[in-house]
Structure 1
Amino acid sequence: MPVELLASPDDRSRPIHFIGENGLEEAALGDRVRNWANANGYEAKNGNVLLVPAADGDIESALIALGEAQEDALAAGKLAKALPEGAWHVASWPAHPDLAILGMVLGGYAFTAYGKKPSRTLRLAVENGPDRAEVERLAQGCALARDLINTPTNDMGPNALEQVVRQLGDKYGASVHVIDGDALLDRNFPMIHAVGRASAEAPRLIDLTWGQEDAPKLTLVGKGVCFDTGGLDIKPAASMLLMKKDMGGAANVIGLASMIMAARLPVRLRVLIPAVENSISANAFRPSDILPSRKGITVEIGNTDAEGRLVLADALTLADEEAPQMLIDMATLTGAARVALGPELPPFFTDDELLAAELSDAAQKTADPLWRLPLYKPYAERLSSKVADTNNVTTDGFAGAITAALFLQKFVEQAESWSHFDIFGWTKFAKPWAPVGGEAMAIRAIDRVLQRRFGGKA
């Protein structure tokens, strides 16, 4: 059920009591609420919700227990499903009110583009609580990323992804330029062209710029593989079922860009999205092909299913040419990252120690988990090729997330700071704040770092 945030409650608004874990006795509750909780054996454990009836049988109020940790606060998303529609307000705030309200808004998300769903709405007043505009800014960026990933490829191919970026550019006054089809060869993006040329929709490089030209340069690159068959090294059918999410890096970069522009962050923002389908046709690129790259590095293709790093490499090279202060790429890149850390904990890679510390702190503060993995240089030798400058994969299958990051690092030289995020982009098991489906990962944590680095926030 969608959650609409209001500045102040109306006369018919009902209270929500946030209480601490195992803190029912200390909570500032009336006798009636406390007696009802005791009569129903209510346990004040994180995320437990209790609806309190009025004398006429209607719901009078609600209470939910939340722990002290940041990640506990997002469990308030349960209220989006548990509360009856109508107006509500907060009677007592939890330890992390901003995350609790964000959890409620995220928990009310539903992907409704392809079927009729109930349109009930919760109206929640946040008077004397978190910054309503700030919660909405973050929630809207996350919802945009979720919507893009959830949309099937027949409606979210390279053409449609380009239109999404153009609409976002129109909304915030950004400029958008696109290089597509054989123009990619003319403009020296050979690997983007090679990966996407077998599709019925032309491959393209989408390029959005926003902000003052003399502001610090922040560049985001997102993997936009709108569907991945694996190419001639075709995936098994079961492995293709979620491949509409292989543009999850692009979706998250777009969501993050919307957050940045909505906050009017004083940066010169550039967003680069190589948008392709890795399809199978007579002109599909092949295992053992040797591809030139924009960087001048030649790449032997050890596996056509490792295509994301190829399109990212050309886009990263372009980004790097103007030496941005910060260069960030996001991609649903490797199964190895999921084996190492599971679907809920994205790894990130950087050789910027200060940025690594800031990201780790922000991940904890925002309850947007991240874990740093090393750019372990000796593993780069495993990408060697006897006939080209590098292979796109190793032959031993070990350290796949690390070697993919090391491959990308070959194409970044001039950026002051670079970081790579290997995300899953999907919620596999529903959470109070996240239904099964496309997910925004790492962008709230990254946004916090950016707001503090460039926006002067404490």
Structure 2
Amino acid sequence: MESTTNLLHISLTQQPAAAAFGKASLTPSSQGYQIHVKAGDELRSIQKAARQLDNLGLTEVQLAGDWSLEAQWAFYQGFINAKRFSGVNFTGDAATVTRLQQLVRCYSFARGLINQTPEQLSPELLCQHAAAFIQEVAGDGKVSQQILLGEQLQQAGWHGIYQVGRGSDRAPALLELDFNPTGNPDAPVAAALVGKGITFDSGGYSIKATEGMLTMKCDMGGAATVTAALALAILGGLTQRVKLILCCAENLISGHAYKLGDIITYKNGTTVEIVNTDAEGRLVLADGLQLAGDSGAGLIIDAATLTGAAQTAVGTEYNALFALDQVLAQRALAYAAEQQELTWQLPLAKWHQQQCPSPYADTANSRPVKGGGAGGASNAAGFLSRFVPNDGQGWLHFDLAAAFNGSANAYWAAGATGQGIRTIAATLLAELSA
């Protein structure tokens, strides 16, 4: 890393740009550049200016002057890109810099994993990378794990993951990781995190168009998000036992792939007719949610790049939140706001379980229309709610509409964003300390 004395210094100012620069939000200073912060939109104006600096070709800068933690994090989010997760030298006291470095560590892990090509990242490798990262963060003696592959899934009764992934030459996989810092093997499991890990989604026989398939390396974003969130919570002082469950598969077409009209019978007895092989995320999460319920965890959080309908509803700057437990949902929204991660609650009621009827099974996995029809994101959440304990009390579902950008915009480089990691980590820490 270059000496910080030789780097361009980036400072903040509340003053508008000099008349010669018009309404510019970024102007030269004696040591580098100054960002003219827009009142009422401070963090976004900082992130936008950082994106402009990256577009100028700068690879490393020094933040100088008076910066809050959130202002520095907004700058980092705008400055980095898919090829470079470093280059921002933070400022402030030791605690602030340490926290920012923890965020960089966890977000870089998730972004790097999500941005990997489908050929680089098989379901088994995804499980291995996630387990290794948690082991590295947690230290010795606190983590145990089990990975089930291929036919082992079917033998264990995890039919959703098996059926979705059996069309690929690379076996589907289920990671069950146990973070237990108590040292007591009989300690109760306080929480379980469940992540969708579809390492590539062709849509299966309900095949996607090229433009829809191009970015489907990101469909394991939920698995990366919950892994990074657990790591961030551990770095933040998590002391209770938590299970990490990743449901991983490639959704491909072959003579051995699952088909439209198939019926999957789950461990809890629920039968599901396949009317859309591109509605596969909910099929693998159903297994993970049941395993989470079996752990006895009082708090269950799942995260997934689940539906295009969520993006249609909230755009790509917000994540969508679903819950039957409305008191918990309101607390989660407050945690998201504290962490500066845009999150919006969409409707979910018990009757959403009935929105995908089937004449042959208890439910279909979607509606046989484009995008799952009206209310598709809520219907998907309703499907998931069939597989959680306690009538959904203690359960949160994040549909990660903001997890990935197919192309750059004024605030984000192309690729993974990591949005949702801070919210889930904060939820873990707050709920388990209550």
Name the TM-score, length of structure 2 as normaliser: 0.87
Asked if 1:328 corresponds to 2:301, the answer is yes
Asked if 1:65 corresponds to 2:36, the answer is yes
What's 1:40 paired with? 20
Q: Whose Rg is larger?
A: 1
Q: CA deviation at 1:40?
A: 3.1
Picking from 228, 234, 247, the partner of 2:201 is 228
Q: CA deviation at 1:358?
A: 2.0
What's 1:180 paired with? 149
What's 1:57 paired with? none
- RMSD across aligned positions (CA): 2.8
Picking from 388, 408, 412, the partner of 1:430 is 408
What's 1:405 paired with? 381
8 Å contact 1:217–1:326 — kept in the other structure? Answer: yes
Aligned equivalents of 1:371, 1:428: Cα separation in 2 = 21
* Gap regions ≥5 residues in structure 1: 25-36, 54-59
What's 1:164 paired with? 129
What's 2:80 paired with? 109
Asked if 1:309 corresponds to 2:298, the answer is no
8 Å contact 2:273–2:363 — kept in the other structure? Answer: yes
Aligned equivalents of 1:379, 1:455: Cα separation in 2 = 32
Q: CA deviation at 1:38?
A: 2.6
Picking from 271, 292, 295, the partner of 2:244 is 271
Q: CA deviation at 1:369?
A: 0.8
Aligned equivalents of 1:338, 1:86: Cα separation in 2 = 33
SS in 1 for 2:384: helix
What's 2:331 paired with? 358
Aligned equivalents of 1:141, 1:120: Cα separation in 2 = 12
Q: CA deviation at 1:86?
A: 6.6
Aligned equivalents of 2:218, 2:301: Cα separation in 1 = 19
Q: Which residue identity does 1:209 align to in structure 2? A: D
Moved more, 184-193 or 169-178: 169-178
Q: Which residue identity does 1:322 align to in structure 2? A: S
What's 1:454 paired with? 432
Identity %: 31
Q: CA deviation at 1:436?
A: 1.0
Q: CA deviation at 1:352?
A: 2.1
Aligned equivalents of 2:27, 2:188: Cα separation in 1 = 50
Q: Which residue identity does 1:289 align to in structure 2? A: D
Residue 201 and residue 354 in structure 1: after superposition, are their counterparts in 2 closer, same or farther (change >3 A)?
same
Picking from 2, 5, 19, the partner of 2:13 is 19
Deviations 1:39-80 (A, max 9, x none): 63354x7xx121124xxxxxx243212234464354463475
Aligned equivalents of 1:10, 1:284: Cα separation in 2 = 55
Deviations 1:122-156 (A, max 9, x none): 534x1348711111222222222211111110001
Deviations 1:214-259 (A, max 9, x none): 3661211111111111112222222211111111111211221221
Q: CA deviation at 1:379?
A: 3.6
Picking from 160, 172, 180, the partner of 1:203 is 172
Asked if 1:134 corresponds to 2:86, the answer is no
SS in 2 for 1:383: coil
Residue 227 and residue 404 in structure 1: after superposition, are their counterparts in 2 closer, same or farther (change >3 A)?
same
Aligned equivalents of 1:183, 1:14: Cα separation in 2 = 55
Aligned length, in residue pairs: 418
What's 1:90 paired with? 64
Picking from 86, 89, 104, the partner of 1:123 is 89
* Gap regions ≥5 residues in structure 2: none
Name the TM-score, length of structure 1 as normaliser: 0.83
Aligned equivalents of 1:308, 1:85: Cα separation in 2 = 37
